[in-house]
A and B are shown apart, each in its own frame.
Chain A
């Protein structure tokens, strides 16, 4: 019998698929950009998290450092996972491989929340090219099966069936089921996130 372990795809150490974006103790995710990942408020209403899934440890480290620079008051180093900063009380910023997280808790639970999120990191490939732009006679469409959210920029938008006359969606209306919108001219960018927070960008 072949051990199941041998059938699992092998990934480099510290490379993860991400963290599931829908969590009971978090509000709905808000997807920002491929460079900044997604955010969600704490369900308790007294803080929020930012989560970034990089394609490798280097991009996650860049995100970690950028987040750290965003504090008007210098926050100290902290010992947690691969890299961390904060005090574990109101703020915890950490990186685990290619996944980086910032927790801001006004209730002083930053470490507990960080530990909980770290425990939910799912191993897998860091990125998926699951979104495509397809062209047919009527124009361009975004095909992103299983996407948690799809965002577009630019392009000549074809009116969606359920939108008001004259009211055009400037960006795709995720989450799925994705609205049957299309583009007469190609969107400049398409960013799609999956349910682990992995982003794919089509330029």
Chain B
């Protein structure tokens, strides 16, 4: 049973005070907590309760010195259903659990709490009363809205297995607010990044928005409120709203989602109240991917949407960076280069996940599904690294394209992904050049990002010592100067990749 003190902060009590000064009753000491009031008086406080949410109505009364209190609950017909106190001196608070004197739950409805102040002979000196309600409250579903970006799950092993989220679809849902005996808990977050749940029911699904968006939350209210003026509030999502069962109030977040691209994991706190008194509190966790903006792909629809399994780790990796294309792409470049456990194929420079469907190096086709599962291992080449960087960047809302540097040129010193040392012969003796090299660009090769290798950033990129320079927002001209020791080199086949 909840003690009044634990519920105290939750309750804003409706108070009705009636007082009188009967003869023969000495005045008491009215200083200090728990003291009798100087004036014989009775005060009773009403409110509301939802027995399935575990709340109780706390009825507060006071009485004067020498008097006693009888405290009862009456139903709408005026019949006493519960006697909370009878002839009790100095009643301060009494909880009511919504049951009658026989322990049977009372139905949803409007009740009256009545306090009678009795003298020493049991005569009623005065009375006070207040309304009380039993309600059953809850939400059946919640839908995040606004500038929501559709997510997809990529399921199974094969390309082409997608579950595309309906961007207007529910974020969480339960089949019923209770089973008649207990309240149904709101769902926990769906944590499997690879596979969508078998049902929205009993799952809180992730959603995606631009980081500076102000999402809305539509809640489907359910339950039985009787005639009680029920209000619902979501902490941090605007003011309380008066609701009826079946309504779909829409709440707007008080602030933009995040300061930059990140994963926002928060608990929505839903507070039900009647006349300002809290009836119950429900919580539901949500995971929101705060992206830079709409995906950078040219094509729309699956698979050219953020994949849950891709943006979750990517956004966590770049949390804290500024919300600009440059900062995000630079951070992703470093993340791929340093943290994904990839290593350059120093034997052959073979691609593991990228193929070209068209003539030359046109129509780069990236098996992102296979990459996420590392089906072909973690040994990659430049085509793979460019594909990986473009895919992640485009999914979190930056805009990158693929471009190919041709052809058969010798290298200055580089440190290939997964490598420990600088070399200008990544394939060993006799292998001191690239037949081609794939990189990414946001602006038709004016600027280059490359997760395959780090350049030597000092004044002489063709000799030691070496100063590590990650290829983050480097001009296209400078990139070629630092990369190429000898041979013709130029950018070709700038394109958007195809995802599988």
Contact = CB atoms under 8 A, between A and B. Distances in A.
A31 B375 CA distance: 13
B355 A167 contact: no
A189 to B, nearest CB: 11
B157 A30 contact: yes
Nearest to A36: B355
Given A151-B159, A154-B301, A166-B200, A70 B164 contact: no
B500 interface: yes
Interface residues of A, number: 50
Contacts of A162: 198
Contacts of A165: 169-170, 173, 199-201
Q: Give the one of A35, A48, A71 with max B CB within 10 A.
A: A71
Contacts of B379: 106
Main secondary structure on chain B at its contact with chain A? loop
B164 A170 contact: yes
A70 B157 contact: no
A117 B350 CA distance: 20
A90 B196 contact: no
Interface in A81-103: 86, 90-91
24 contacts: A33-B357, A36-B365, A39-B367, A39-B370, A39-B375, A39-B376, A41-B377, A48-B352, A50-B355, A70-B351, A72-B349, A72-B437, A90-B347, A90-B348, A91-B347, A152-B160, A165-B169, A165-B199, A166-B200, A167-B165, A167-B169, A170-B164, A170-B302, A174-B160
B483 to A, nearest CB: 13
Contact of B200 (A67, A104, A164): A164
B158 to A, nearest CB: 5
Contact of B431 (A32, A39, A73, A172): A73
A36 B357 contact: yes
A75 interface: yes
Nearest to A93: B350
Interface of B: 152-153, 155-166, 168-170, 173, 196-201, 203, 301-303, 345, 347-352, 354-358, 360-361, 363, 365, 367, 369-370, 375-377, 379, 381-383, 408, 427, 431, 434-437, 498, 500
B162 A169 contact: yes
A28 interface: yes
A71 B163 contact: no
Given A47-B377, A66-B356, A152-B160, A30 B198 contact: no
A175 B161 CA distance: 10
Contacts of B159: 30-32, 151
Given A30-B367, A33-B500, A165-B199, 12 more contacts: A32-B365, A36-B357, A41-B376, A70-B355, A72-B381, A72-B436, A166-B168, A167-B165, A171-B161, A171-B162, A172-B160, A173-B156
B375 A168 contact: no
Nearest to B201: A165
Nearest to B157: A28
A69 interface: yes
Contacts of B347: 73, 90-91
A18 to B, nearest CB: 17
Nearest to B362: A66
Closest 3 CB pairs of A and B: A166-B169, A72-B349, A170-B302
Interface string A122-148: 000000000000000000000000000
Contacts of B355: 32, 36, 50, 66-67, 70
A10 B269 CA distance: 72
Interface in A60-80: 66-67, 69-75
A196 interface: no
Nearest to B151: A167
Nearest to A66: B356
B361 A31 contact: no
Nearest to B376: A48
Nearest to B349: A72
A47 B350 CA distance: 11
Nearest to B357: A35
A168 B376 contact: no
Interface in A154-203: 154, 157, 162-175
A30 B369 contact: yes
A69 B500 contact: no
B425 to A, nearest CB: 11
A169 B376 contact: no
A46 interface: yes
Contacts of A152: 160
Contacts of A20: none
Q: Give the one of B161, B427, B431, B436 with max A CB within 10 A.
A: B161
B200 A31 contact: no
